[in-house]
Amino acid sequence: MFAPMEAVRRLMDLRHRGRAEDLPAVLSSAAAFLDADAASVLLIDYAQLSLCPLRGTDPVMAGPQAVEGTAPGQAFTTARAVWQDGRLWLPLLHGAERLGVLGLSVRAYPGDNALRDLEVIAALVAELIFSRMPYGDAVEHTRRRLPMQLAAEIIWNQLPPLTFAVDGTVITAVLEPCYDVGGDAFDYAANGDVLHVALFDTVGHGISASDLTTLTLNTYRNARRSGLSLTDTYRSIDKWVHARHEGSFVTAVLAELDTTTGVYRRISAGHPAELLVRDGRAMPPLPTPTALPLGLGHMRTRGPGVTELALEPGDALVLYTDGITEARDENGALFGAERLTEFAIEALRAGIPAPEMMRRLIHTIVSYENGELRDDATAAMLRWRPVTRGAVR
């Protein structure tokens, strides 16, 4: 009997009481109301290589699935429903963030109306997973395939979701090594028509680097939430880094995008220039640096320079730390900016969704260094598409 509202009622009980690990049992009890013999939830692991059954799932119901070459992996990478061998896989999306997939054992592929209802169920499941995460460790236990180093634990606990979309604009990021990152971080916030974006690369590694990254990230947020300009935000972070970690420094891009007009303004504090791709080709790089690294700004009397650029609809900006371009193969050859440019242009031409493009990029870097990164490697892509307010999307 297809009665999706009854399934919704049962799932909604978890909103006020219940843990993430209770979700598999509730889904099993609700499966019959979705014309399904069974239901399972698979979450993406930190390395974004495999989809793993949520803790609490009956091991007979589902096992880990590789992202590459599987139906659930296809649903995850394309963010679309996939049908194979009596199993319907639906992406679990919290906003634009990809959490994993919902699997339903059904006798036939659902019609359009039923499929839309099941997509609503999947959205509710994603919402429940995300809202239950702070109250227990089931999601973390599910996503971890290796022990998380303390420095990485500190950083991951402070980062926003990897992907966010507002109107026609999307920001998405990746970090590696995901279990041992310590010196890289990113942040964003959408306030009115302005999307604030920052990418940080801290000198050093391990706990000392994560301490400095923590100070930098939170000083950035404090400045942003206090309404400071880009210039004053730079000065605030620079002051605190110098005061608390004298001799250390952080390279960074501090940026703002007006999502209505496409005006992009940024400070490059000793950081590599963003890659700008427009209409399938790379544009000239933005000037860099426009300021000394954070923590060293006191050495210069002149304030930081702010670069302004008018984006065109569809433009993509790729921000990255030097761990991307300075990755080396077994012969010592750098991955380099040229390979990064080629990768981005090919992926954009192929129409690969932004989060999937970043996932593939980081695995390309890891593969290039034979699975052993010499440095933290972080990248973020910002793509702007204006949307007319009030238009039907």
Per-residue pLDDT reduced to its tens digit, 268-316 = 999 999 999 999 999 999 999 999 999 999 998 888 999 999 999 999 9
- Residue 360 pLDDT exceeds 90: yes
| The total number of residues written for the chain in this structure | 393
Q: Which residue has the higher pLDDT, 268 or 15?
A: 268
Which part of the chain has CATH 3.30.450.40? 4-143
Which part of the chain has CATH 3.60.40.10? 150-383
- 27-62: pLDDT as tens digits: 999 999 999 999 999 999 999 999 999 998 877 667
- Residue 216 pLDDT exceeds 70: yes
Band the pLDDT of 392: cuts 50, 70, 90: very low
- Residue 134 pLDDT exceeds 50: yes
Supply the pLDDT for residue 371: 83
Q: How much is the mean pLDDT over the chain? A: 94
% the chain with pLDDT above 90: 87
- Dihedral (CA of 355, 379, 242, 204) sign: positive
Is it true that domain 4-143 has CATH number 1.10.3470.10?
Answer: no
Supply the pLDDT for residue 249: 97
Could you tell me which of 172, 118, 147, 135 has the C-alpha nearest to residue 17? 135
Supply the pLDDT for residue 58: 76
User: What mean pLDDT is predicted for residues 63-90?
Assistant: 95
User: What mean pLDDT is predicted for residues 252-260?
Assistant: 97
When mean pLDDT is compared across 52-61, 148-157, 356-365, the lowest value belongs to 52-61
Supply the pLDDT for residue 389: 54
Residue 314: left if φ>0, alpha if ψ -120 to 50, beta else—which one? Answer: left
CATH T-level fold of 150-383? Phosphatase 2c; domain 1 (3.60.40)
- The structure tokens listed for 150 are 């303390």
